[in-house]
Structure 1
Amino acid sequence: MSSQTIQVAVFLFVTALIGLATYMHCRGRSDRQSNQNKEYFLAGGGLAWYFVAGSITLTNLSTDQLVGMNGNQMALLALWEFAAVIGLIILAKVFLPVYYRYNCTTTTELLEKRYHNRHIRAIISLLFFFGSALIFCPAVIYSGALFMQNMFNVDAPLMYIAIAFAVVGAVYAIFGGLRAVAVSDTYSGVLLLFMAVLVVILALKAIDFSFDGVPAERLTLIGDNDSPIPWHTLFTGMIFIQMFYWGTNQVITQRAMAAPNIKEAQKGVFAAAAIRFMIVPSIIVIPGIVAFKLYGDIGDSAYGTLVADLLPSWLSGIFAAAMAAAVLTTFNSNLNSATALYVCDIHEAYINDKPNVPALSGIVTILITVISLLLVQVYAQADSIINLIQQLYGLLSMPILSVFILGLVFKNVHATAGIFSVVYGVVFYSFLSFKGYGLFDVETGMIASLLELHFIHQMFITLASSIALALLLNWILYKEPPQFTLDQLKGDVPAENVG
């Protein structure tokens, strides 16, 4: 039996085993008489802390992380993960109590309750929806297909592998809802983390635990101005990027909001933070650095090539199954969250307040899946998939975070001012990110300086100016000066949600 046959056989067996374990756990768990939204999108509020931790970890940790971050082939990318720990702590201590206090199904529901306006909720939902459909879903499908192509060394076109991932992921999302996604996340997450740590150990052994010959700039955690993360960006936009991603992003917070109470949710989030601090940084940078020493600068192909060389056939089949599960769960997590936002925040608010949730969700899921596949070739042109994702998501992240900050730490901010902050933020950041659309041909001055700033600095400027201009507009239109207060972040969570 050939080594490739063994790989494929083990891969199919482990993949089927994860699917069977997920089915056995979820079978008969849903209460069809309960609220459809809560059951389908929040697993009926029944996720134990370990499923919350597992789902948060694997929803974020997928091929876009392992392939993309290792594709930079430098230690510096670990800073994203260390900063993420702070973001998770903010989620647990700041945002979760507010979501549970307002009994939210989606993060955007909080905005409607704070601003007393359904339109601002719909606008933010659309931004999240487009972020999943146009950025995260196609990126994870592309990076997963690229990894499998490199690892199995197959001649099959990238799109064929991408289509297989997309179809299977859509089936999970349509028929299982969040419960199936979270459970499969956890089972495959344990396997993926174990295998990823094993890859780190084997990679270090392959170079005799010596990084001699690797340039110093690939080993440092202090980035210069030309690096993917200049050191000074840690003091501007980095913390707000993490605050947005872990605290307001529906894809992540949906897992924590699906716990039976806030104590269980916080326990799961803290467990996810511990995993991210102790395990994740090493697995997303060390293999890439080792690949640089062994093969040179090969970009996003580094991780798949290294794993294919280091692991024996039967182990590579197991690892491929874990990676496939990571791709599928990240993909269907984004599908499930995007669908939740459309159904709860748009369809029920403007079209039909009592839809058939599973049927409608299936239609939306298929639509997003088709869009994702159409965009795979676009992402295939990127020099670095992870850097492209981070830069593109700035179009949404800071404008969205601005409206959350305005609603939570300022009094009497009207929805009009919040909507202005979002629209302005999207336009302003796109102007900065795409170098002014070629409207300015200048080499000096403030505009040139802004256009040349690192995108993390640009994100911070976008956030600060969005908030400042929205408060000014609120003052001019409604004659109400800004009043900073932390009252909205205080208060008791209802007893039934405490645990």
Structure 2
Amino acid sequence: MQTLDTFDWIAISIYFAILAGIAIWVIRKKNSNTEDYFLAGRNVGWFVVGASIFASNIGSEHVVGLAGAGAGDKLPMLIYEIQAWVVLILGWVFLPFYARAGVFTMPEFLEKRFDARSRWVLSIFSIAAYVLTKISVTIYAGGIVVSALLGIDFWTGALGTVILTGIYTVLGGMRAVVYTETLQAIILVIGAAALTFIGLDEVGGWASMTETVGPEYLDMWRPMSDPNFPWAPLLIASTITGIWYWCTDQYIVQRALTARNIKEGRRGTIFGALLKLLPVFLFLIPGIIALTLKMRGELHWDSPDEAFPVLMSNLLPSGLRGLVAAGLLAALMSSLASVFNSCSTLFTVDIYKKLRPNTPEKKLVQTGQIATVFIVLIGIAWIPIMANISGVLYEYLQSVQSYIAPPITAVFLLGIFSKRINAKGAFVTLVTGLVVAALRIFMELIKDSLDPNGILFAFGDMNFLYFASWFFLFCVILIVAVSFLSKAPAYDKVENMTYQTITEEEKKNNKVSYNWVDIAVSIVIVIIVAGVMIFFNGE
């Protein structure tokens, strides 16, 4: 690792000065009510919505972890990064229902479609999921990045970044998050693109890199006999997780809900999907470049998760290295800011306001600010435990998400597409899902102490892709069975809330909210995703 020099520090300082300027400008716009604080006044344009969706998704855990997957023979994990087509499902399928319902949160939508019990379960489920998969992973990856770049110890780097991000998130709310994320997305794309181009030049181009690692290394489609990434469960599990993450998760959907209308929201998701095509080229390929240089004896790193920061510090010229370092810090901060704001929204709107419905708006904003602080502390406490679950950071993230996603995906999908699915079916599925997911994580942690021939060991040791696929099928059967064995929901619970009950007037309103350009760009995105899947087949 080369240390940063004067020009690098100048680049980082300029970036933070601009970021501070945006944060101060936003903080001065008073957040007088919950709509201002949690949804930026619902007055954001498509460009900022799309950039915010992208920046929220691409945290330092993606940068570090996806490059680590490229460097550590885990190329099948790429499928989680080419899910731009799932982002389109948010805009075209789910968003019209969310916007029509006028909701702040996803649990609030479940209450309108089902009942208050489902809202409570999803609120608690979501906050737990954020601690398990987002806050702790982002802080952990951020600590690796900051310590590697700035030459300081892991905990100082992690805590310093958390505190800095927490300050502007608490003070500025959602508006501070989306506008700073727009800058962070731009910086990250420019910096990582520079590293990819310089890296490919350094290894002698794509053909030379392929020759070193071997063409079979670039195959994301493994046979069904592969113990880690059999192709069919990989495709099924990644789609289930993708629909949960992009279409039903507060963390992402909240960005689309800040749009000033459905047209801007949908265009924001299309733009976000377009940006989502970039990570393959910006982060995965640098990981393969780092592996190539290591195999040639020109670069050294101990863990695949170190591949990106080591490559960056050794290949990039002075100044540009600082810009990419700023981009990495930006990725860390944007992800943290997003999850802090989403957690405080869930706690304030779905828990605190339900318990105290007459609380003044100003008091609700203050409650959200206090909730942020507590959630950060819980996330920091989880980091040492997280290190025991999976070897590579990115794989840990996807495995835990695979346990959380199936019940929520089943409830939202069937809830929107079928008017017969009722509150009892949704509640039973969510509760059962929460218990099974918690049990799986616990068994995975203690499986070494279990009898290798026992059923509990098999449950904890089953490949996470197979587990997610079968678990989703189980959740679908469960919600359908419970719903059909109990009373059909009242019409006011399904009116305009499912595809089977949408009125002709609403269909007309929806058609006005898009044009041929939106359709054409969406089709192009799907074609590019298919092209990437075909390209990475090792031939």
With the length of structure 2 as denominator, give the TM-score of the two structures: 0.83
2:116 aligns with 118
User: Within 2, Cα distance between the matches of 1:226 and 1:384?
Assistant: 18
Question: Structure 2: which amino acid aligns with 1:164?
Answer: G
CA deviation digits over 1:56-75, x for unaligned, max 9? 00100121111001112254
Question: Structure 2: which amino acid aligns with 1:47?
Answer: V
User: Within 2, Cα distance between the matches of 1:12 and 1:359?
Assistant: 31
1:358 and 2:359 correspond = no
User: Within 2, Cα distance between the matches of 1:405 and 1:370?
Assistant: 33
Task: Compute the RMSD of aligned alpha carbons.
Answer: 2.8
Deviating more after overlay: 301-310 vs 104-113: 104-113
2:233 aligns with 233
Q: 2:174 aligns with which of 144, 166, 178?
A: 178
What secondary structure sits across from 1:130 in the alignment? Answer: helix
1:60 aligns with 57
CA deviation digits over 1:205-261, x for unaligned, max 9? 111112122144431122345475432124422212111110000010100011000
Task: Tell me by how many angstroms 1:204 deviates.
Answer: 0.6
1:486 and 2:499 correspond = yes
Matching of residues 330-349 of structure 1 within 5 Å: 330-349=335-354
1:397 and 2:405 correspond = yes
Question: Structure 2: which amino acid aligns with 1:462?
Answer: F
Deviating more after overlay: 293-302 vs 85-94: 293-302
CA deviation digits over 1:392-413, x for unaligned, max 9? 1233221222221342223343
User: Within 2, Cα distance between the matches of 1:479 and 1:251?
Assistant: 31
2:469 aligns with 460
2:428 aligns with 420
Question: Structure 1: which amino acid aligns with 2:365?
Answer: P
What secondary structure sits across from 2:254 in the alignment? Answer: helix
CA deviation digits over 1:297-329, x for unaligned, max 9? 731011111001011232111211121121111
1:15 aligns with 16
Deviating more after overlay: 447-456 vs 466-475: 447-456
CA deviation digits over 1:453-482, x for unaligned, max 9? 5312311221221121233233444489xx
User: Within 1, Cα distance between the matches of 2:336 and 2:392?
Assistant: 19
Change (3 A) 1:165 1:447: closer
1:289 aligns with 288
Task: Tell me by how many angstroms 1:441 deviates.
Answer: 4.6
Change (3 A) 1:442 1:476: farther
What secondary structure sits across from 1:366 in the alignment? Answer: helix
Q: 2:384 aligns with which of 377, 387, 392?
A: 377
Q: Is the CA contact 1:89–1:270 (under 8 Å) kept in the aligned structure 2?
A: yes
Change (3 A) 1:316 1:398: same
User: Within 2, Cα distance between the matches of 1:409 and 1:136?
Assistant: 29
1:305 aligns with 310
Q: 2:189 aligns with which of 188, 193, 203?
A: 193
User: Within 1, Cα distance between the matches of 2:132 and 2:318?
Assistant: 35
Task: Tell me by how many angstroms 1:109 deviates.
Answer: 1.3
User: Within 1, Cα distance between the matches of 2:67 and 2:227?
Assistant: 15
Deviating more after overlay: 7-16 vs 414-423: 7-16
Change (3 A) 1:38 1:478: same
User: Within 1, Cα distance between the matches of 2:123 and 2:372?
Assistant: 15
Task: Tell me by how many angstroms 1:283 deviates.
Answer: 1.4
User: Within 2, Cα distance between the matches of 1:353 and 1:253?
Assistant: 27
1:273 and 2:273 correspond = yes
Deviating more after overlay: 391-400 vs 319-328: 391-400
Question: Structure 2: which amino acid aligns with 1:142?
Answer: Y
Task: Tell me by how many angstroms 1:447 deviates.
Answer: 8.7
What secondary structure sits across from 1:370 in the alignment? Answer: helix
1:81 and 2:81 correspond = yes
CA deviation digits over 1:83-123, x for unaligned, max 9? x21211110111001101111111221111111x2221121
1:145 aligns with 143
User: Within 2, Cα distance between the matches of 1:77 and 1:489?
Assistant: 38
The runs of 5 or more residues in structure 2 that have no matched partner are 296-301, 514-539
Question: Structure 2: which amino acid aligns with 1:323?
Answer: L
Task: Tell me by how many angstroms 1:285 deviates.
Answer: 1.1
Task: Tell me by how many angstroms 1:416 deviates.
Answer: 2.6
Matching of residues 36-115 of structure 1 within 5 Å: 36-72=33-69, 73=71, 74=73, 75-82=75-82, 84-115=83-114
Q: Is the CA contact 1:261–1:498 (under 8 Å) kept in the aligned structure 2?
A: no
User: Within 2, Cα distance between the matches of 1:100 and 1:493?
Assistant: 14
User: Within 1, Cα distance between the matches of 2:181 and 2:145?
Assistant: 19
User: Within 2, Cα distance between the matches of 1:196 and 1:467?
Assistant: 40
Change (3 A) 1:271 1:490: farther
Q: Is the CA contact 2:251–2:342 (under 8 Å) kept in the aligned structure 1?
A: yes
1:208 and 2:204 correspond = yes
Change (3 A) 1:334 1:479: closer
Q: Is the CA contact 2:31–2:37 (under 8 Å) kept in the aligned structure 1?
A: no
Deviating more after overlay: 435-444 vs 288-297: 435-444
Q: Is the CA contact 2:78–2:284 (under 8 Å) kept in the aligned structure 1?
A: yes
2:251 aligns with 251
User: Within 2, Cα distance between the matches of 1:188 and 1:263?
Assistant: 24
Task: Tell me by how many angstroms 1:372 deviates.
Answer: 1.7
User: Within 2, Cα distance between the matches of 1:230 and 1:37?
Assistant: 46
User: Within 1, Cα distance between the matches of 2:508 and 2:107?
Assistant: 20
CA deviation digits over 1:380-436, x for unaligned, max 9? 455211111111123322122222134222334332321110122233345556369
Question: Structure 1: which amino acid aligns with 2:369?
Answer: G
Deviating more after overlay: 52-61 vs 209-218: 209-218
- Paired residue total: 485
Change (3 A) 1:403 1:327: same
With the length of structure 1 as denominator, give the TM-score of the two structures: 0.89
What secondary structure sits across from 1:236 in the alignment? Answer: helix
